[in-house]
Amino acid sequence: MMDAPIVHIGKVIRNAVAFNTQQWQGARPDVDHLLDAVAELFELLEQRRISYALAGGIALLKYIRGRNTEDIDLILSVSSLKKLPEIVVTHRDVYFTRGNYKGIQVGVLLTKNPLFDHVKKHHVVTQDFLEQTIPSATVRGLILLKLYALPSMYRQGDFVRVGLYENDIATLMFYYTPDMQEILDELTPFVGSQDKSAIQDVIADLERRIARMRSRDL
C-alpha cells in the first residue's frame, strides 16, 4: 500500500493544462488563475452544502503518484448540479455531464446512474487535499467506476482511454491487492451479461500481467 500524498489539486490542474501543448492556440495560455478557481469550486460545494464525491484522476492521485489530469470529476445528483449554475454545461448525456468552471473542465457523473449512486453511497471516504478535506472515491470505488466504463470504451474504439483506465486499474490492483472476485460480484447487478464477460476478461488479463511482474521480483 502506498502512503497517501497531500495533493494540491490546483497545481495538478494548472500543470496539466500548461504542458498540454495540443490545446495551445498560438501563445502559451495563462494558467495561474486555475489555482484560485479550483479552490473556489470546492468552496462553493461546501458553502452550498452539496453532497458530492470526487472521482477520476484527481481522486486517483491519493492512491497512485504521477497520474496526470486536466479534469475534476464529481459524482453529483441532478438537483445538486442545478445548485451550481457557475458550471457552464458544454455536453449533456443521460448519466454524464461535462462543464466548465472558470477554465476548469468538470466532469459530472450523475447519480441517476445506479452504479454512480452506489459508489457515492458506499465507497467514499474523506481525504485531505491542500485545498480542504474532500469526500473522495475509495480504491474499490475507483475500480468499480473504471471497470464499468471499459466495455463502452471498447465499443467506441477509444484506444487511448482504454489504455489509461486499464493501467489505472492494474496499478490499484498491484499496490492494494483488492479481492477482484468480490468487486466483480458487486458490479454484476449494474452491467449486462456481455459487458460482464468483457470485464472478466480484463480482470483476468490484468491479473496475469501483475503475476508476471511479481514473478520478476522474486
The tens place of each residue's pLDDT in the chain, 218 residues long, gives 656 678 999 999 988 887 765 555 555 556 778 999 999 999 999 999 999 999 999 999 999 987 778 899 999 999 999 999 999 999 999 999 999 999 999 999 999 999 999 999 999 999 999 999 999 999 999 999 999 999 999 999 999 999 999 999 999 999 999 999 999 999 999 999 999 999 999 999 999 999 998 887 65
Check residue 4 and give its pLDDT: 65
Check residue 101 and give its pLDDT: 96
**Angle between the 139-156 and 159-176 helix axes, to the nearest 10 degrees?**
160
Cβ atoms of residues 138 and 102 within 8 Å: no
Other beta carbons within 10 angstroms of residue 195's beta carbon come to: 19
Check residue 69 and give its pLDDT: 86
Check residue 155 and give its pLDDT: 94
C-alpha grid cell for residue 211?
503475476
Long-range contacts, stretch 93-101, CB < 8 angstroms, 24+ apart: 101/37, 101/41
> Which CATH entry fits the domain spanning 9-137: 2.60.40, 1.10.10, 3.30.460, 1.10.760?
3.30.460
Residue 104's contacts (CB-CB under 8 Å, 6 or more residues apart) are: 13, 34, 37, 38, 41, 71, 72
Cβ atoms of residues 120 and 53 within 8 Å: yes
Residue with cell 494540491: 8
CA distance 26 to 159: 28
Check residue 29 and give its pLDDT: 59
Q: Of 104, 100, 106, whose CA–CA distance to 76 is shortest?
A: 106
Domain extents in the chain: 9-137, 142-217
Give the global pTM. 0.92
